[in-house]
């Protein structure tokens, strides 16, 4: 699916010919590529990305006990799926003249958070049909019932090192919440739209 980020407008203060318009479009494409690289770096450098990618035995910098991979119950690393969405080529239209003053509008289309939701809705067996990214946006509960085993695996554990118990194992926050992927995509969009030519 294609989603419209918005419009990035570029103005040339002279008569436009095909070569001139293509030069401006090339500048727009350059801005888009820079914004995409920035978004990918933000995703790769984020503590949530790093911890999930580190796997079931990772030492957490986010949770007091255990780690995100184990707590959420992943059977495999889900991060490459999301990275592939961010790596999808963002498209820039050829440009359309919108007034008599040589002002052109370029339509830029790229991934939105709905794209991420759609590819992450079957990655956790215990919530099949629901996106764990969307759930994380709102907050995933039962952290206080999460039991982590750093030295051995639980036979019935999906991730191998974490299970949910019927009794509370710790106090503090009941849920884990982060909208970091949504924020990265929003920053990506804003970096494109605020680019001056």
State the DSSP string of 137-148: HH-B--GGGEEE
Encode burial over 42-61: b for 16+ CB neighbours within 10 A, e otherwise.
bbeebebbebbbbbbbbebe
Q: Across 36-168, where does the E strand assignment appear? A: 91-92, 96-97, 103-110, 146-148, 162-164
> What pLDDT does residue 2 have?
45
CA distance 46 to 53: 11
Reduced to 3 states (helix: H, G, I; strand: E, B; else coil), residue 153 is: coil
129/127 Cα distance (integer angstroms) = 6
- In 3D, which of 34, 147, 148 has the Cα closest to residue 92? 34
The tens place of each residue's pLDDT in the chain, 197 residues long, gives 345 566 666 655 555 666 677 888 888 889 889 999 999 999 999 999 999 999 999 999 999 889 999 999 999 999 999 999 999 878 888 888 777 677 778 888 888 899 999 999 989 988 888 999 999 999 998 888 899 988 777 888 999 999 888 887 666 667 899 999 999 999 998 888 876 55
pLDDT value of residue 187: 93
How do residues 102-145 score in pLDDT, each as one tens digit? 777 888 888 889 999 999 998 998 888 899 999 999 999 888 88
pLDDT at residue 1 in the model:
37
The tokens describing 18, both together, are 């095909």
Query: In total, how many domains does the chain have?
Result: 1
Assess contact for 162 and 147: CB atoms under 8 A. yes
| Half-sphere exposure at residue 143, Cβ-oriented, CA atoms within 13 angstroms | 19
- Residue 96 to residue 186: CA distance in whole angstroms: 25
C-alpha dihedral (85, 1, 180, 55), degrees to nearest 10: -40
Record the tokens describing residue 192, joined without a space: 């494109």
Q: Please give the residue range of the domain that contains residue 98.
A: 3-193
pLDDT of residue 50: 97
């Amino acid at each position: 699916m294609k989603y419209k980020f918005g419009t990035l407008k570029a103005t040339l203060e002279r008569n436009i010919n095909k070569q001139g318009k293509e030069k401006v479009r090339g500048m727009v494409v350059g801005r888009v590529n820079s914004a995409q690289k920035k978004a990918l770096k933000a995703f790769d450098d984020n503590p949530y990305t790093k911890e999930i990618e580190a796997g079931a035995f990772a030492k957490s910098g986010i949770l007091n006990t255990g780690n995100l991979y184990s707590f959420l119950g992943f059977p495999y690393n889900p991060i490459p799926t999301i990275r592939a969405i961010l790596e999808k080529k963002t498209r820039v239209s050829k440009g359309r003249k919108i007034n008599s003053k040589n002002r052109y509008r370029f339509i830029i289309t790229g991934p939105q958070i709905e794209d991420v939701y759609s590819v992450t809705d079957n990655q956790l067996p215990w919530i099949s049909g629901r996106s764990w990214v969307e759930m994380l946006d709102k907050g995933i509960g039962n952290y206080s019932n999460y039991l982590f085993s750093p030295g051995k695996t639980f036979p019935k554990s999906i991730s191998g090192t974490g299970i949910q118990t019927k009794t509370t194992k710790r106090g503090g926050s009941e849920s884990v919440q982060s909208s970091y992927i949504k924020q990265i995509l929003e920053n990506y969009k804003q970096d494109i739209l605020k680019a001056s030519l």
